[in-house]
Structure 1
């Protein structure tokens, strides 16, 4: 997670020689445009979602705690986007001071890796619910709370190097002050190299592998359940998470890997280095779109009624599990997760 040397602005080549600096002038319009869209849409989507999910945690499934924290992470990141918009509009010149730079950069990476972590937790939660329903019934709210607390503590602890490194540097280009960029080569090959490797492996590769392995098993199990009014909704939840990961996080980390190889001088081809640098500008902007796409996940995994931003949805609901259906003495192996709203008859299927 503490990949502080993954720069975001004008950079020099990996060997620090007198070769021309890497430039991508389109970033000065790309970042402000993308971040402005994410800021507006993210606020409109995540603040209502955070409110509604908070009510759902109190009165519904405990697993909603994962999505509540996912919405919280997105909201915190969205709140610092105006600083980044100003930074890129002024050709990567930071004027807000050292502490604001540290907070902005830290929340940027916390958003990425906590989002992936909560995606993985949602995946494992659905996996246990579908394939091991009796075990799932024994999971209590305190277990979800402990997992969420551990993830937040881990995220904050591994960002300590971000805070201690000293993120502000004179870029040497247009006499600007760079925030979280232009770090010396020694940062890549020295003590920060292990953090970059751990971020790639345990921050993305392992969680994404869990998602890829678990969700096909879940989808196959759900597909075996017949006459389920919520089966499509459950499958859409699966496909939404896979889609967000594929669109936002996979390109981001592929370019991270290539960029890391360039910075540690394992790749020294100048033309390829320039290409990687430009690709990285695009993926750095693209990864922020997860804040706008995550509310789709909240919608697809909600109750049978669409949210429609109706704050009256914060009502008490009761979850009832039916493990087996009896039909003339013949047991069905399918099980259903039912939601009872007021005096209405329960629906069938898996949420």
Structure 2
């Protein structure tokens, strides 16, 4: 797992020649055949997209962080991992406004060197922290459903916090090289932040890229396939809870397929094809645009993760219902009490898990 998180470290330690990158970008912008997409339209679309994602992700994850932080005493391991997932999302969401500004000003970076490095650093920290925390949630759900009795002594919030702390140390340290190298360059009178989309990469990063994505993806997929098999074969979950479980599984896999899989597939293609001498300028432009599009999709996980909290954490769902329905229901003590009571039932029934 530690090797997997070293993609960026390997990329930046092997290809940090800013002069070469600047020359490459200058050549690209000077060739009209590369401009297959109207840059003005492209920048407006990206800028508006980042603002929309910022508003959705900020509100959803701030609410989630507030709810989970109030459940320390009785929190389940899954809720602990979701709490840290919300922190990871917020750590990157706060950077989206300046990323939007970069596009809305026509691809000019007015914020200086340090914010450029920080923007790329938080991008990778968020992406890989999200990947591994979602994998941890999948592993916890697997234990709760398939090995409910045998996992009682293992599935504790204290252990989940320890695992989360270790993951944070691993991710932040592995991404640290991003903060140490210059990432801005002057291209045709404009300051470009090379950190945002990593439009130059070493072939050596391909192996590290595969390791970075494959373990959490396969772990999550395997856990959820085993859960589905257990649910179909027969489990102690009630039909309604089975449906909630399947919805949660489907939503998490959707996040992987929409936010993470396209980026890593496109990134691998970009690394293999962009610097190839036989690749035309038009193909390079297409690879660069695909790299930007899929990179922007990874930001969408910050807006989709609150849906995982809503479907996957009963306490979160109960609190949201209480917040938004109390006026119509007059504070509905019976409903809230039922929701809270369900969260204290044993993990054998798995009601607190879905």
Smaller-chain TM-score bracket:
0.7 to 0.9
Question: Which runs of structure 2 are paired with 1:169-184 in the superposition (5 Å)?
Answer: 169-170=185-186, 172-173=187-188, 175-181=189-195
Deviations 1:8-41 (A, max 9, x none): xx98769x79982744414311211110100111
2:64 alignment partner, one of 37, 42, 49: 49
Give TM-score scaled by structure 1 length.
Answer: 0.80
- C-alpha distance in 2 between matches for 1:56 and 1:156: 26
Question: Which runs of structure 2 are paired with 1:71-150 in the superposition (5 Å)?
Answer: 71-139=86-154, 140-150=156-166
The answer (yes or no) to whether the contact 2:259–2:298 under 8 Å persists in 1 is yes
Task: Name the structure 1 match of 2:178.
Answer: 162
Task: Name the structure 1 match of 2:44.
Answer: 29
* Structure with the largest fraction of strand: 1
- C-alpha distance in 1 between matches for 2:66 and 2:206: 35
- Secondary structure at the residue paired with 1:59? coil
Q: 1:267 to 1:62 in 2, by over 3 A?
A: farther
The answer (yes or no) to whether the contact 1:256–1:280 under 8 Å persists in 2 is yes
Question: Which runs of structure 2 are paired with 1:1-351 in the superposition (5 Å)?
Answer: 1-2=7-8, 20=31, 22-23=34-35, 24=37, 25=39, 26-139=41-154, 140-170=156-186, 172-173=187-188, 175-181=189-195, 188-189=201-202, 194-195=204-205, 197-198=207-208, 200-223=209-232, 224-225=234-235, 227-265=238-276, 268-303=279-314, 306-308=318-320, 310-311=322-323, 319-321=344-346, 323=348, 336-338=349-351, 351=354
Structure 1 unmatched ranges of 5 or more: 324-335, 340-349
Q: Give the drift of 1:276.
A: 1.6
- Secondary structure at the residue paired with 1:268? coil
The answer (yes or no) to whether the contact 2:255–2:301 under 8 Å persists in 1 is yes
- Secondary structure at the residue paired with 1:231? helix
Q: Name the Cα RMSD after superposition.
A: 3.3
* Structure with the largest fraction of helix: 2
- Secondary structure at the residue paired with 2:240? coil
- C-alpha distance in 1 between matches for 2:250 and 2:23: 40
Q: Give the drift of 1:337.
A: 2.2
Q: Give the drift of 1:285.
A: 2.0
Deviations 1:160-198 (A, max 9, x none): 22111211112x23x11111259999x744xxx545532
- C-alpha distance in 2 between matches for 1:289 and 1:18: 29
Q: Give the drift of 1:264.
A: 4.5
Q: Give the drift of 1:258.
A: 0.9
Give TM-score scaled by structure 2 length.
Answer: 0.79
